[in-house]
Copies of this chain bind each other. A is one copy, B any other.
Amino acid sequence: MRNDLHTELTVRIFTDRKCFGPGVAELLRRVRELHSLRAAAMSMNMAYSKAWTVLRSAQEGLGVRLLRSSTGGKNGGGAVLTAEGERLLAAYEDYCAKLRAYGEALFAETFAFYDALTEEEK
């Protein structure tokens, strides 16, 4: 289906370095679900050491702690998002969703000529 043209947007956030993007966002969502950085990393087929590097780099770049250790619970502790981590993740998701919604209409408009172009080629 050559005429089914569509787009994908990747949003990365920088300070003095790259500090937030799809990978960190996914890691945080999984920590929220699984209450553990190790389990979150495993569920993404990511090495635990890599997850730590990703997280540390995001925290240092942002100057904000994203995770904290939780205590208690039936698994005897793990990791949870800090209030700041929740807020940044929510803002990232909100921003991406709004940008995609805007981008969709704009894309259809900007590439409207494409169908005619491929008709001519046939």
Residues of A within 8 A of B (CB): 1-16, 61-65, 84, 87-88, 91, 94-95, 98-99, 102-103, 106-107, 110-111, 113-114, 117-118, 121
- Tell me whether A64 and B117 are in contact (CB under 8 A): yes
Given contact pairs A2-B15, A6-B13, A9-B11, A106 touches B98 in the complex (Cβ within 8 A): yes
Residue in B7, B14, B118 whose CB lies within 8 Å of A12: B7
B111 touching A106, Cβ below 8 Å: no
Chain B residues with Cβ under 8 A from A88's Cβ? 114, 117
Question: Which chain B residues lie closer than 8 Å to A6 at the CB level?
Answer: 13-15
- A64, B3: Cα distance in complex, Å: 11
CA gap between A73 and B1 in the complex, in Å: 39
How far is A7 from B99 in the complex, measured between Cα atoms in Å? 12
Contact A11:B1 (CB < 8 A) given known A94-B110, A95-B110, A110-B95: no
Stoichiometry (number of copies): 2
| Subset of 22 A-B contacts with CB under 8 Å | A2-B15, A2-B16, A4-B16, A5-B13, A6-B15, A7-B13, A7-B95, A9-B11, A9-B99, A10-B12, A63-B118, A64-B117, A64-B118, A87-B113, A87-B117, A88-B114, A95-B103, A95-B106, A95-B107, A95-B110, A95-B111, A98-B106
